[in-house]
């Protein structure tokens, strides 16, 4: 395979402004074009391609926009081989050169071995690396070591609209022969050392509304005689987490998986330059001083963040208002083996308890508006061992075994619906800047990533 060819395709794909976040017809047209181009690429590779019509999407403003098709593709169906399904997405975050891009975000531009462009690392580059790996076997006229399936969507950045319904529907059809699912939609934790991701945190998002009346009050006319909703809300939010980051909701740590010696060793093995991490994050001081504690509190312990308040005075200036009704928002990142509905009960009970002690005449309503389960895989699954061996072959090193502190709902979704082993094999370096200005993928990562996927196919073949 000529790696230059792969880079040419990446340039073409990056040039398509497949922004799924801004719901305007122009970008939707680009998304449809993107999916058609990808379907064509897969067809030329010899795959059997279905572009599934996803219907349309009703926006809050009443507008209706078509959803780009999801590509389901199959390459080989030799029953003696394993079948690996690759998930990827070809939509991108918005990008505007005026926002601080040094180059046109939709013109792939190489500077010092870095390929700058929107979608270069998230997720067009990794999708193409997988395709390149397949086409390498084709170019060498070799049989594919495994059967390959693709599920490629165009709405990931907009919340994977309607994807779950499709996966549910295809569970016993497209996914029936699938043995393993590979996702390559996150980043390494390092600039140079590859990684395998085996878990993500979940998230339960809460709102707590405190209401005196619909209308606001004037603080001159009513200040001093009211149970002010903001005072209640600030007390409620202040009861959730202490200054060391410890969550104060009773029972919340009960189901957190116990820490094993083996697990501690995985954190020790990871290279993380704390000083550099702190500097690049522009944070003066973290809550913890050691690499192990930092990683554990990002990955294997829950965290609680207060996001803000709706209904209070949030603008510049000095308004003397007593808000009549306010809604606080916070969320808890969940880890194995915390249970979303148990957490919902614990948080609700805790807030009701704190509120009742205030003897406030206001009304409080607690709601969990989002509940996403944490996901964790068995790192001793055969495909994890295969991925490790492939990394050793291509990079000559052990991978960092990492988790992601964020939630990657598709990983959990595939695991729950398809019931197969899911692995995240990122290709991009920690500084790739997905979602940011000047997103890039290193030339090296893109080429070595392609090799890694090819090596992974060969390793997977050994399993059968």
Q: Is the Cβ of residue 9 or residue 239 nearer to its own copies in the bound state? A: 239
CB of 6 to its own copies, least distance (A): 29
CA 139 to chain CA centroid, Å, is 33
Both structure tokens of 272: 């993380």
CB of 371 to its own copies, least distance (A): 11
Residues 389 and 425 sit within 8 Å (Cβ to Cβ): no
The C-alpha angle 290, 259, 204, rounded to 5 degrees, equals 90
Report the C-alpha dihedral over residues 41, 43, 48, 54, rounded to 10 degrees: 60
Residue 400 annotated in ligand binding: no
Three-class DSSP category at 27 = helix
Residue 228 annotated in ligand binding: no
Both structure tokens of 390: 């492939």
Q: Is the Cβ of residue 173 or residue 283 nearer to its own copies in the bound state? A: 283
Residue 232 annotated in ligand binding: no
Q: Is the Cβ of residue 286 or residue 395 nearer to its own copies in the bound state? A: 286
CB of 230 to its own copies, least distance (A): 4
Q: Is the Cβ of residue 127 or residue 368 nearer to its own copies in the bound state? A: 368
Report the C-alpha dihedral over residues 283, 285, 289, 295, rounded to 10 degrees: -30
Is-catalytic flag, 416?
no
Residues 68 and 57 sit within 8 Å (Cβ to Cβ): no
Closest CA to 120 of 45, 18, 204: 18
Q: Given the residues 91, 170, 216, 459, select the one marked as catalytic.
A: 91
Neighbours of 39 (CB within 10 A): 20
The C-alpha angle 115, 121, 123, rounded to 5 degrees, equals 140
Taking the C-alpha atoms of residue 171 and residue 165, their distance in angstroms, rounded to an integer, is 10
Cα–Cα separations (whole angstroms), residue 143 to 75, 77, 375: 11, 12, 34
CB of 57 to its own copies, least distance (A): 16
Q: Is the Cβ of residue 170 or residue 185 nearer to its own copies in the bound state? A: 185
Q: Is the Cβ of residue 10 or residue 212 nearer to its own copies in the bound state? A: 212
CB of 78 to its own copies, least distance (A): 39
Is-catalytic flag, 53?
no
Q: Is the Cβ of residue 337 or residue 358 nearer to its own copies in the bound state? A: 358
Residue 310 annotated in ligand binding: no
CB of 296 to its own copies, least distance (A): 9
CB of 330 to its own copies, least distance (A): 8
Taking the C-alpha atoms of residue 50 and residue 39, their distance in angstroms, rounded to an integer, is 8
Taking the C-alpha atoms of residue 417 and residue 170, their distance in angstroms, rounded to an integer, is 10
Closest CA to 167 of 416, 451, 432, 428: 416
Q: Is the Cβ of residue 104 or residue 310 nearer to its own copies in the bound state? A: 310
Q: Is 252 exposed, middle or buried (0-12, 13-18, 19+ CB in 10 A)?
A: buried
Residues 319 and 352 sit within 8 Å (Cβ to Cβ): no
Taking the C-alpha atoms of residue 120 and residue 378, their distance in angstroms, rounded to an integer, is 30
Q: Given the residues 19, 30, 153, 156, select the one marked as catalytic.
A: 156
CB of 118 to its own copies, least distance (A): 18
Closest CA to 144 of 79, 73, 71, 81: 81
Both structure tokens of 238: 């202040």
Residue 30 annotated in ligand binding: no
The rounded radius of gyration (Å) of the Cα atoms in the chain is: 24
Q: What distance, in Å, lies between the first and last C-alpha atoms of the chain? A: 26
The catalytic site residues sit at 91, 156
Annotated binding site: 89, 122, 157, 185, 435
Annotated binding site for Mn(2+): 89, 122, 157, 185, 435
């Amino acid at each position: 395979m000529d790696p230059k060819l792969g880079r040419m395709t990446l340039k073409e794909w990056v040039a398509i402004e497949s922004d799924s976040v801004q719901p305007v017809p122009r970008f939707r047209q680009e998304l449809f074009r993107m999916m058609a181009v990808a379907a064509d690429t897969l067809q030329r590779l010899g795959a059997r391609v279905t572009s599934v019509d996803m219907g349309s999407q009703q926006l809050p403003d009443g507008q209706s926009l078509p959803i780009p098709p999801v590509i389901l593709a199959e390459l080989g169906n030799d029953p003696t081989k394993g079948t690996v399904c690759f998930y990827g997405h070809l939509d991108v975050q918005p990008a505007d050169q005026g926002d601080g891009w040094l180059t046109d975000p939709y013109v792939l531009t190489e500077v010092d071995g870095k390929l700058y462009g929107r979608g270069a690392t998230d997720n067009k580059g990794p999708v193409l690396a997988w395709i390149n790996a397949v086409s390498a076997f084709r170019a060498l006229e070799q049989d594919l070591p495994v059967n390959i399936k693709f599920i490629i969507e165009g709405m990931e950045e907009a919340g994977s609209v309607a994807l779950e319904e499709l996966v549910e529907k295809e569970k016993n059809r497209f996914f029936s022969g699938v043995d393993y699912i590979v996702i390559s939609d996150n980043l390494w934790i390092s600039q140079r050392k590859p990684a395998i991701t085996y878990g993500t945190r979940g998230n339960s998002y809460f709102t707590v509304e405190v209401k005196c009346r619909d209308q606001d009050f004037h603080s001159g006319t009513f200040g001093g005689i009211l149970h002010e909703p903001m005072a209640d809300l600030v007390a409620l939010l202040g009861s959730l987490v202490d200054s060391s980051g410890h969550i104060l909701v009773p029972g919340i740590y009960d189901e957190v998986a116990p820490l094993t010696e083996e697990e501690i060793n995985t954190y020790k093995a990871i290279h993380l330059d704390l000083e550099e991490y702190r500097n690049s994050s522009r944070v003066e001081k973290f809550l913890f001083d050691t690499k192990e504690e930092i990683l554990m509190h990002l990955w294997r312990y829950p965290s609680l963040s207060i996001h803000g308040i709706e209904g209070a005075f949030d603008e510049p200036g000095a308004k003397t208002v007593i808000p009549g009704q306010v809604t606080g928002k916070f969320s808890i990142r969940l880890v194995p083996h915390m249970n979303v509905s148990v957490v919902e009960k614990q948080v609700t009970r805790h807030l009701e308890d704190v509120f009742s002690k205030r003897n406030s005449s206001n009304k409080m309503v607690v709601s969990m508006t989002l509940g996403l389960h944490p996901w964790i895989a068995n790192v001793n699954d055969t495909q994890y061992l295969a991925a490790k061996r492939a990394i050793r072959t291509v990079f000559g090193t052990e991978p960092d075994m990492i988790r992601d502190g964020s939630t990657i709902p598709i990983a959990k979704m595939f695991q729950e619906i398809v019931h197969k082993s899911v692995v995240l094999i990122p290709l991009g370096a920690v500084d790739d800047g997905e979602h940011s200005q000047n997103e890039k993928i290193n030339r090296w990562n893109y080429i070595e990533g392609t090799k890694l996927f090819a090596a992974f196919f060969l390793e997977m073949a050994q399993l059968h």
